[in-house]
Amino acid sequence: MKPTLILISIFLLSLTGRASAQTDTIVSALIRDIPTWMAENHVPCVGVGLIKDGRLEWLKTFGELQKGHPAPNNALFNIASQTKPVVAMLTLKLVQAGQWSLDEPLARYWIDPDIARSPYLWKLTTRYVLSHQTGFPNWRTDDGTGKLTFKFEPGTNSGYSGEGYEYLRRAMESKFHQPLDKLLDSVLFKPLGMNDTRYWGPDLDTKRFAMWHDGQGNQYSTSIETPVNAADDLITTIRDYCTLGIFVMNGAGLPDTLYADMVKQQGQGKGTQYSGLGWGVVRGLPGDAYALQHGGSDIGVRTMAIFLPKTKEGIVVMTNGDNGMFVYDQIIKEALSLGGQISDIMNKGTSHHERIVLPDSVIQRYAGLYEQSNGKVMNVVREGNAIKVSGDGLPTAVLFPETQNKFFLQGYDVELEFPNLHSLIVYENGRQVMTIERK
């Protein structure tokens, strides 16, 4: 071997050694810290997959699926809304194959009777579904009527919606004459070897399933038998979702123009964060890097995935507790080189919150039980000069006063407002997401 080649080989080996040592340090810190964070937040089970240089570098599941049942590394998690990017990738692969269009009206394949007479019906497209610009509420049950309606004209505003994805499912199933789970299996799961990804069925290996727990660590009695849904309730493992992330970071086999469409801003954004097609996108990172991200949040479920296509780095975290977000935030900050910056962009709003002091009597008058339209109850109590909220599917969190009737969650873009003594309004990312009446 020539001297120059020897020097290059030695240099490359030294870089590999440094990267390996750095990963070992991160893994050691995670093994030390994750059990502590789990205990502090009453989260029974946490799974983590760490991607470096485009490959799965480390995978470990901590804790118990339920009391007395240790979690294996191939534990099955319900990933709630993290289902959406999976369905989005299916859709983009069908677009690539010329079998689907981003901008064709969905009404050609499916018309929901609730909106059959709406002037906006033929303006609803797949692009608006994947970028949350449909005008639909998150769920048609949110306002208590159970009727699907447009809150605004498609494409003119942004609003997170599971209904949009379900509308897309009905349209796809109508055109292809196949249920969504079969389409996913043939187009994505089998080709990628995602053999542990599926919806609930009677043959699900429930001995590997991470049962759901509340903010105090108590197991929910809620049934895990969830239906096929394009926006929710896919079941998978850390390894399988990392496989999907690596596939996406490597371009997913999509044409450059379609991939560019996936990661560009489609609708309104918040600072350097916006919706692409199926993914949240975080910009403003060093070296012109960007992150693709999506989380899942449901009763007893909190998950998050972040992938950086330019550096081929990523992380997947799945938990089975309502307080899981407080655990995965710390994991992301410790595990990813840009984790702290990404988390700050994702969690912090554009508004500055300044904590004030209120008389105890003012805070106490907001204490009580508040019932959502779906029957879930939020409990509000006074916690010093703040309020503490808890309830089914909610993290147990303390919010601090910033006005006489508005409280904020430190480090997150979440606010509660009490317009009167009979109701409260929840804001996320500066947007009103629900109004809840006092029980």
Q: What is the mean pLDDT of the chain?
A: 93
Closest CA to 233 of 278, 275, 180, 188: 180
DSSP state of 321: B
Q: Which structural domains are found in the chain, ordered by start? A: 77-347 (3.40.710.10), 360-438 (2.40.128.50)
Mean pLDDT across 291-314: 96
Residue 1 in this model has a pLDDT that exceeds 50? no
| Cα 142 to Cα 145, 146, 369, 433, distances in angstroms | 8, 8, 18, 9
| 388: pLDDT strictly greater than 50 | yes
Split at pLDDT 50, 70, 90, the class of 9 is low
Torsion angle (degrees, nearest 10) of CA 333, 301, 243, 171: -130
Does residue 7 register a pLDDT over 90? no
Higher pLDDT, 6 or 278: 278
On the question of pLDDT at 292 being above 90, the answer is: yes
Q: What angle do CA 155, 158, 161 make, to 5 degrees?
A: 105
pLDDT of residue 113 exceeding 50, the answer is: yes
**What confidence tier does 19 reach under pLDDT thresholds 50, 70, 90?**
low
Are the beta carbons of 401 and 355 closer than 8 angstroms?
A: yes
